[in-house]
Amino acid sequence: MNTIRCYDRFTNVKRVAALIGVATGIAAGLLLALPSRAEAPQRLPTVVINGKSTQTLAALRAAGDVQTLPTVVVSARRADRPLDGEQVAAR
């Protein structure tokens, strides 16, 4: 009687995957076991602001104390074709 050997052709792939999984688990455990090195928070310098309240913008406009600047209209158009660096430098 002849004996036919059966084998799993993915055994090596399974072993490598298991080895990678175990190594990743050990590495993650070691990283989580490290102590944290957080420093104590430093106290920022105190800022003191002195000021006084002013009238609101609506009250200033009603009193006529606010002058408005002239309106500036900016218009632009798209270039017919894209400009290269030399054309932009020439302008």
CB atoms closer than 10 angstroms to residue 68: 6
Q: pLDDT of 28-59, one tens digit each?
A: 999 999 888 878 888 877 777 676 666 676 77
- The C-alpha atoms of residue 1 and residue 64 are separated, in whole angstroms, by 115
Q: What integer pLDDT is reported at residue 28 of this predicted model?
A: 95
Q: pLDDT of 4-14, one tens digit each?
A: 778 888 889 99
Whether the per-residue pLDDT at 78 is higher than 70: the answer is no
Cβ pair 18, 11 in contact under 8 A: no
Rounded to two decimals, what is the model's pTM?
Answer: 0.36
Encoding tokens for residue 1? 């009687």
Q: What integer pLDDT is reported at residue 5 of this predicted model?
A: 76
Q: For residue 86, name the pLDDT band (cuts at 50, 70, 90).
A: low
